[in-house]
Structure 1
Amino acid sequence: MPALLIAAAVLAAQGVPPARVSSGTAIRAEANGALEAYLLTPAGRPKATMIIIPGSGPTDRDGNNPNAVKAAPYRKLTEALVTRGVATLRIDKRGMYGSKAAGNPNEATFADYDGDVRAWVETARRRTGQKCVWVAGHSEGGLVALRAAGGPNVCGVVLLATPGERLGDTIRKQLRANPANAPVLASAEEALGELEAGRRVAVTGLHPALAQGLFNPAVQGFMIELLAQDPAKLAAAVKRPMLIVQGGHDVQVGTVNGEVLKKAAPKASYVLFPAMNHALSDAPAERGPNLATYAETDRPLTPGLTDRIAAFVTGRK
């Protein structure tokens, strides 16, 4: 059977490799010493401070993960933002890398992530002397950022390649888009429907790519929570400033997602970078060459991306 293409944006259960080498100063969350992040500050008082929440699965604070992602988009973004006067805190998710002491990452819940962000907001605010802190989320991390938007001392939200549609709809599109999935499509959609209904599924009889990946029993609890999130509803509830950043060549979170978020939150600022992909770099539109850029360590961020974000969070919009 041809290789299956199964929803690239879904949490994967696997062991956590050693922490990456990153620029900045490692700090612990003041409300939870088991959490680690890297703080990068400009010379003098920052114009703004922003937390970056990673995307799904074993994504580290630099934006890399063991699944052939080496482009380090978060590290590149923070190193560019600091030259524009913006302090950044890029976090390791609980149970992973520098935060591995916080528990099993496969048992994390959205409530856990909510508490972690609150702790990081206070830590970042005190470390940088800001009255409030911006919360940015990439991909699945954008959902966490949206949930944090109403919290104390949050200036506003920056959404980077964040789903606007419900995840179940996105997964179905990805499954149906690849002809190689045809032999397992019916069983995959049936299992997905069970999770959407809040019920775990038995993986006996499922293709290994489904049983060990998308429907891995270790992550089904979080998948049930994730499938229940309604990004548009979350966006509509945000009362603070919000910037929605979408890439025209994003093959994981397509342009419809940015459009859905903007429709739900019409007062939000919205910017589309026509050639930007999910790794925040300009890339070919074709899927294969596009995904290949994820492994290019020297590939630059999309031109104008850093300036647009810096202008928004420093009030120059």
Structure 2
Amino acid sequence: MLRHLTAALMALAVVTATPAGATPALVPAADREVVFTADGTTVYGTLHVPEHRPGQRLPAALLLPGSGPTDRDGNQPPGSTPDTLAQLADALDGDGIATLRFDKYGTGRTGLGAYRDHPEELDYPAFVRQARAAYESLRDQPETDPRALLVVGHSEGAMTALLLGGTARPRPAGLALLQPQAIRLLDLVALQLEAQVAEATRQGQFTPEQQRTVNAAIAAAITSLREHRPVDTTDLPLAIARLFEAFQGSSARFVSSDDAVYPPDTAAALRPGTKVLLTCGTNDAQVPCATTNALTTALRHGHAGGPGRVTLPGVDHLLHDTAHPNTLAPPVLDALHRFARH
């Protein structure tokens, strides 16, 4: 009788016990709303957590958008909806990296927040402080590994990523600077405008003499802005004149404070060995590869880690190419995977 009872108990143990070495069920990938505060403003974002083991701490990346009213997904609806940041989150999911993206000031659920009644006081440092608050929120999420935090910025967001890289705590393990604003803002604006005027001249809209006159007026306008003097728009085409008028209006404080940052200077504050990816696209008319030369040199002198600068053949500013006009181009995905696994 006792022998039969012992056998029955052993059989029950085999049925109910977890087999040695068995893998517990994975937690499926999911998005959830994240709320944090920056300078008295409630900021809303999306945390994406890849599939993972229960209790596992994951590397995590803060995603930062480009200039203008660009929301958490990388869109400026209704006119521009490339989903840049949402697609970056999907790409990083494939490497097991959690991501946080958020609605910066003036976009999405966040809106202008504390600046609602005085938007003219919104300057670039406010956006940096907002990004730092987002980084701290990501650091404190239960699924993230605070020793493996990354910052991935696109365009102006890449400059913000650089500033965070030298000041945030804990220091990021890596930065991905995608088509970065790598020179002073107004210098970049001048390059973009001069390229547009050159194209208009090529199409016969301006004579070479008119082109020289307009370029000189652009240079004078930028000097006036930096010296806080009124801009003379007499020799500027209407569209360009309106741009400089806006730079003197409600956005004057932002433009001045953004233009004060020279990105190569910020590289010196990075912790030596910080892994850095810097991309430039050969079809990027907004941030030509040549504008990243000084920053690339500064990163090298600061002993940043790899993969370093990666040139993306045929890729434009929104990280697309002609074969992939609505999704991240394959060279972008390859560079991201190299960065994630470096």
Compared with structure 1, are the counterparts of its residues 160 and 224 closer, same or farther at alpha carbon in structure 2 (3 Å cutoff)?
same
2:44 matches 1:36: yes
State yes or no: 1:215 paired with 2:245: yes
- Sort the Cα spacing of 1:53 and 1:278 in 2 relative to 1 into closer, same or farther, 3 A: same
Asked if residue 148 in structure 1 is aligned to residue 164 in structure 2, the reply is yes
Checking the alignment, whether the CA contact within 8 Å between 2:221 and 2:233 is kept in structure 1 is no
Larger Rg, first or second structure (1 or 2): 2
For the Cα contact (< 8 Å) 1:110–1:144, is it kept in 2?
no
Alignment of 1:162-201 (within 5 A): 162-177=180-195, 178-179=197-198, 180=200, 182=211, 184-197=214-227, 199=228, 201=230
Letter in 2 for 1:273: L
Question: What code does the residue aligned with 1:55 have?
Answer: G
Q: State whether structure 2 residue 277 is matched by structure 1 residue 243.
A: yes
1:123 alignment partner, SS class: helix
- How much does 1:30 deviate? 5.0
TM-score, normalised with respect to structure 2: 0.73
Checking the alignment, whether the CA contact within 8 Å between 2:186 and 2:222 is kept in structure 1 is: yes
TM alignment of 1:1-317, pairs within 5 A: 24-30=31-37, 34-44=42-52, 45=56, 47-66=58-77, 68-100=79-111, 101-104=113-116, 106-127=120-141, 128-132=143-147, 133-150=149-166, 151-155=168-172, 156-177=174-195, 178-179=197-198, 180=200, 182=211, 184-197=214-227, 199=228, 201=230, 208-216=238-246, 217-239=249-271, 240-266=274-300, 267-268=303-304, 269-283=308-322, 299-313=326-340, 316-317=341-342
Deviation of 1:36 (Å): 1.3
Deviations 1:36-60 (Å, cap 9, x if unpaired)? 1111111223541111111111112
Contact 2:125–2:257 (CA under 8 A) maintained in structure 1 = no
Partner letter of residue 169 of structure 2? P
Superposed CA RMSD in Å reads: 2.6
| Structure number with higher relative contact order (C-alpha < 8 Å, ≥ 6 residues apart) | 1
| Aligned structure 1 segments of 4 or more residues deviating by more than 4 angstroms | 30-33, 202-208
Q: 1:256 to 1:106 in 2, by over 3 A?
A: farther
CA distance in 2, matches of 1:207, 1:308: 40
User: Any unmatched runs of 5+ in structure 1?
Assistant: 1-22, 285-292
Cα distance change of structure 1 residues 196 and 277 upon mapping to structure 2, 3 Å threshold: same
Query: How much has 1:24 moved relative to structure 2?
Result: 3.3
Q: Is the 8 A contact 2:224 2:231 kept in 1?
A: no
User: What do residues 67-124 of structure 1 show as CA deviations (whole Å, max 9, x unaligned)?
Assistant: 8422212111111211321111112112322211242455322321222122111111
CA distance in 2, matches of 1:30, 1:223: 24
Shift of 1:25: 2.3
Unaligned 5+ runs, structure 2 = 1-29, 201-205
What's the % identity of the aligned pairs?
30
TM-score norm. by structure 1 comes to: 0.79
Q: 1:204 to 1:274 in 2, by over 3 A?
A: closer
